[in-house]
Structure 1
Amino acid sequence: MTDPVLSLRDVSLTLDGNAGPVEILRGISLDVGRGETLGLVGPSGSGKSSLLMLLGGLESVSSGTVTALGQDLTRMDEDALARFRRDNMGVVFQSFHLIPTMTALENVATPLELAGHRDAFDRAEAELEAVGLGHRAGHYPGQMSGGEQQRVALARASAPRPAILLADEPTGNLDETSGAAIVDLLFGLRDRHGATLVMVTHAMELARRCDRMVRLRDGRIEAPAEARAAE
């Protein structure tokens, strides 16, 4: 693969537990290409979410290197990492992490304002329309369903038009119907902005929609990435 957007080289992560150090990830090497969709799958505790956190610079490696868009994240301090995520990444979590005292429009516009976009509210309004929530722009998170809140979170992640989208169990807190709608929106946003998408999921039907799957077990990549099965 030439010029990967995301690259991990011999990455390990060890955290302190009650009984001593715990190895979370062990010797992970992985490349993700521009515009690719990658599904991270595996049993609970296999290290999927930890790997996503390392890709987003939200957790520090114990050894090895993480590179995103040619930049070595392992050499950046917290301020530099925050700026890099602001300018290049959109992150969607299982929990929505919306600010409860802000309307949907304000939640989406705030990161754009922090990044200095003068058209922050216009872009936020367009993204809410794109996820079918233009009519809910003035509502607060507490006035919306779980599916609607996750759609606001998707709009917030995609509004800066990031090169990289990271999603950690984006349908985990939703019912089947709402979850399916979120998945369609997530791939639609990827297509609209041409972003590279890496997604952690327990749902195999969702992982199979990705270009590749990577299976983790006990902190290691269990098998080579699988090509998506032909329809």
Structure 2
Amino acid sequence: MISLQDVQLRLGSGAGEVNILRGIDLAVGRGETVSLVGPSGSGKTSMIMVIAGLERATDGRVAVGGRDFGGLSEDDLSLFRRDHVGIVFQSFHLVPTMTALENTAIPLELAGRSDAFARAGKILEAVGLGHRTTHYPGQLSGGEQQRVALARAFVAEPDLILADEPTGNLDGETGQQIVELMFDLSRAHDTTLMLITHDPKLAERCDRVIRMADGRIIEDAGAPSMAAAG
């Protein structure tokens, strides 16, 4: 599902060019769950951004779902994300003037789907918000807003979900509920899940735990061995 080969990312700053990612090699299969852990500034979010096509790698090869990002235009990448990638942020990023139903339906509406609201209603039911479809983000709790964000990410049944600290703004109990929902939805749709977390218990829930430091992968616990792969 994800293939990174010698991926590097360098960005300009006032102090000159900064090496953000330093030769990342990674392969993730369909349906795998992977956590990214490491200190702030280690490159976790940048790697997620590169995999989402929101940031262009400076060097190396990035392929997701068999599509090589190197030959895709920005419009192509946007369409690819719409159809194949769901993203969940720590900040919920809901449109404040749209209801829970309207926020959830956004990816399907952009794709021109006539069943956008029917499907959005079904997945809101699945995350326990069938009774809150007409409520606006400001009328919802933090946990409810993150449920809407999850529903929006999964509504188009993407091949890949990328989550950046999805429970970071929630209390422990609410965060645990969101975690269970996220894993249940991933299993139900055979979705590849990659998430950034500082929670060791959440990280250990995943098939693999990838530890990053200084723009490099320094450990990949749970990765299949070359012998097993062969």
Q: Please tell me the TM-score bracket, short chain as reference.
A: over 0.9
Q: Which runs of 5+ in 1 are unaligned?
A: none
TM-score, with length taken from structure 2: 0.95
Aligned residue number for residue 21 of structure 2: 25
How many residue pairs get aligned? The number is 223
Letter in 2 for 1:40: L
Q: Distance in 2 between matches of 1:15 and 1:192?
A: 38
Q: Distance in 2 between matches of 1:141 and 1:189?
A: 22
Aligned residue number for residue 164 of structure 1: 160
**2:124 aligned to 125, 128, 134, which one?**
128
Aligned residue number for residue 7 of structure 1: 3
Return the offset for 1:107: 0.5
Q: Which runs of 5+ in 2 are unaligned?
A: 224-230
Return the offset for 1:118: 1.2
Task: Name the % identity.
Answer: 60
Q: SS in structure 2 opposite 1:61?
A: coil
Q: Distance in 2 between matches of 1:70 and 1:227?
A: 23
Cα RMSD over matched residues? 0.9
Return the offset for 1:116: 1.9
Letter in 1 for 2:222: A
Q: SS in structure 1 opposite 2:187?
A: helix
TM-score, with length taken from structure 1: 0.95
Q: Distance in 2 between matches of 1:179 and 1:63?
A: 36
Q: Distance in 2 between matches of 1:18 and 1:185?
A: 42
Q: Distance in 1 between matches of 2:195 and 2:101?
A: 25
Letter in 1 for 2:177: A
Q: Distance in 2 between matches of 1:227 and 1:29?
A: 15
Return the offset for 1:227: 2.0
**2:54 aligned to 30, 45, 58, which one?**
58
Q: Distance in 2 between matches of 1:116 and 1:173?
A: 32
Aligned residue number for residue 98 of structure 1: 94
Aligned residue number for residue 213 of structure 1: 209
Q: SS in structure 2 opposite 1:45?
A: coil
Return the offset for 1:226: 0.8
**1:186 aligned to 182, 185, 210, which one?**
182
Aligned residue number for residue 222 of structure 2: 227
Q: Distance in 2 between matches of 1:192 and 1:109?
A: 19
Aligned residue number for residue 114 of structure 1: 110
Q: SS in structure 2 opposite 1:207?
A: helix
Return the offset for 1:76: 1.1
Return the offset for 1:74: 2.5
Return the offset for 1:75: 2.0
2:151 paired with 1:151: no
